[in-house]
């Protein structure tokens, strides 16, 4: 298998805070990689750097062998890396339909047309199909602010998948979703992902979810990769037990309100 995404000694600090130090991660085509790590371990920072939202302080990011350091989110996304957000990034005061229509409008054109209408029958139908795939058609006419967390998360991921990425980075897709609904949400997402053939890296706190969906597991701790390997192997790692999955697990990560 050839490496799809590879980071070498990726590091980032915010003033005196080291959010990421020396991260080496490799993701191959077709892999579903789970990521665990307590609050502040650097998981979001890692995704932000890979997608061009944050510039690394040092290190290298290779996508299909080519460096993508210095590219902005638009360029990274066009190259084939898409992401979802810990806090769903949507257009809150607009309807679900408008959210999707805008997404298609932006996606289809390099320069947005000034005159041709967006809400055509054909475009609305296409939007409906997308919502159908994620099982949220019934919310189509609702404003985003009124949606349950799970639906927001799904819509956020649906928009990330629009570009048909080769690799999808999901930042806590099930956070804020009731325990009973987590599997249903992940099933929906994974069905769509499998259809597209994209590789996935997903940040998750629930070990059952990790065990069910990932083919490999990476544990982050304090801006570093603590362990990386088969799921059972990493879960049974003494350091991981002590520093990540042990007593740290019931941290109130839901409280974390952090955009992007």
Partner 1 sequence: MKYATTMIIGAGIALLAAGLFMPGWLTFLLTLAFAKGLVVMGLLLLMRAGLVSFGQGLYYCLGAYCVGIAGDYFETQNALLLILLAVVVCVALAAIIGLLLCRYRDIFFAMFSMAFSMILYGVLVKSSAFGSSDGFNVKPPLLFGWTPTGESGPFLAYGLAVVALVGVGIFVWRYLRSPMGYAGEAVRENEIRVEYLGASVRRIIYTKYLLAAAMAGLGGGITALAAGHIDPEMAYWTTSGEFVFIALMGGVGHAAGPVIGAVLFELLRTYAFQISPYTWQMILGIALLVIILYLPKGVWSLVERVTKGKPL
Q: Residue 67: is it exposed, middle or buried by C-beta count within 10 angstroms (0-12/13-18/19+)?
A: exposed
Among 4, 7, 45, 99, indicate the residue that binds ligand ADP (CB under 6 A).
45
Q: Which does 39 bind (CB under 5 to 8 A by kind): partner 1, Mg ion, ligand ADP, none?
A: ligand ADP
What is the closest distance, in whole angstroms, from the C-beta atom of residue 111 to ligand ADP in the complex? 32
Nearer to partner 1, 38 or 48 (CB): 48
Query: Could you give the 3-state DSSP secondary structure of residue 77?
Result: helix
Nearest Cα to 68, choosing from 45, 46, 50, 43? Answer: 50
Token representation of residue 169:
């980075």
Residue nearest to Mg ion (CB): 44
Q: Which does 17 bind (CB under 5 to 8 A by kind): Mg ion, partner 1, ligand ADP, none?
A: ligand ADP
Residue 173 binds ligand ADP, judged by CB under 6 A: no
What is the closest distance, in whole angstroms, from the C-beta atom of residue 258 to ligand ADP in the complex? 6
Nearer to ligand ADP, 130 or 168 (CB): 168
Residues that bind partner 1 (CB under 8 A): 51, 53, 72-74, 77-78, 82-83, 85, 89-94, 98, 101-103, 105-109, 112-119, 159-160, 162-163, 259-260
Binding mask 241-260 for ligand ADP (x = CB under 6 A): -----------------x--
Neighbours of 201 (CB within 10 A): 26
Max CA pair span of the chain = 61
Nearest Cα to 82, choosing from 201, 175, 195, 192? Answer: 201
Binding span for ligand ADP by CB under 6 A among 42-50, 56-64, 143-151, 211-219: 42-50
Among 4, 10, 42, 186, indicate the residue that binds ligand ADP (CB under 6 A).
42
Nearer to ligand ADP, 19 or 101 (CB): 19
Restricting to residues 22-41, name those near ligand ADP by CB under 6 A.
Answer: 37, 39-41
Q: What is the DSSP string of 119-165?
A: S-HHHHHHHHHHHHHTT-GGGTTSBGGGS-HHHHHHHHHHHHHTT--
Token representation of residue 31:
């892999």
Among 7, 44, 175, 188, indicate the residue that binds Mg ion (CB under 5 A).
44
Nearer to partner 1, 160 or 167 (CB): 160
CA–centroid distance for 92 within its chain: 19
Residue 245 binds Mg ion, judged by CB under 5 A: no
Neighbours of 17 (CB within 10 A): 10
What is the closest distance, in whole angstroms, from the C-beta atom of residue 109 to partner 1 in the complex? 6
Q: Are 173 and 201 in contact (CB under 8 A)?
A: no
Phi, psi of 164, rounded to the nearest 5 degrees: 50, 65
| Residue numbers at the binding site for Mg ion (CB under 5 A) | 43-44, 86
């Amino acid at each position: 298998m050839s490496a799809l995404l590879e980071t070498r000694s990726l590091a980032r600090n915010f003033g005196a805070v080291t959010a990421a130090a020396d991260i080496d991660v490799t993701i191959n085509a077709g892999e579903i990689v789970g990521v665990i790590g307590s609050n502040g371990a650097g998981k979001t920072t890692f995704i932000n750097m890979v997608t061009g939202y944050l510039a690394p302080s040092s290190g290298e990011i290779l996508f299909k062998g080519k460096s993508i350091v210095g590219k902005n989110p638009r360029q990274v996304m066009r190259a084939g890396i898409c992401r979802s957000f810990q806090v769903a990034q949507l257009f809150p005061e607009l309807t679900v339909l408008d959210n999707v229509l805008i997404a298609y409008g932006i996606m289809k054109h390099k320069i947005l047309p000034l005159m041709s209408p967006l809400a055509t029958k054909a475009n609305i139908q296409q939007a409906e199909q997308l919502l159908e795939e994620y099982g949220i058609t019934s919310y189509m006419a609702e404003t985003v602010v009124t949606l349950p967390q799970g639906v927001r998360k799904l819509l956020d991921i649906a928009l990330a998948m629009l570009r048909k990425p080769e690799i999808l980075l999901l930042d806590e897709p099930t956070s804020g979703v009731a325990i009973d609904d987590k599997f249903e949400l992940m099933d929906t997402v994974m069905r769509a992902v499998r259809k597209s053939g994209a590789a996935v890296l997903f940040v998750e706190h629930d070990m059952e979810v990790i065990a069910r969906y990932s083919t490999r597991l990476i544990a982050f701790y304090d801006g570093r990769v603590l362990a990386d390997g088969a799921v059972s192997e990493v879960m049974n790692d003494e350091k991981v037990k002590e520093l990540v999955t042990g007593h740290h697990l019931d941290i109130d990560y839901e409280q974390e309100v952090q955009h992007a």
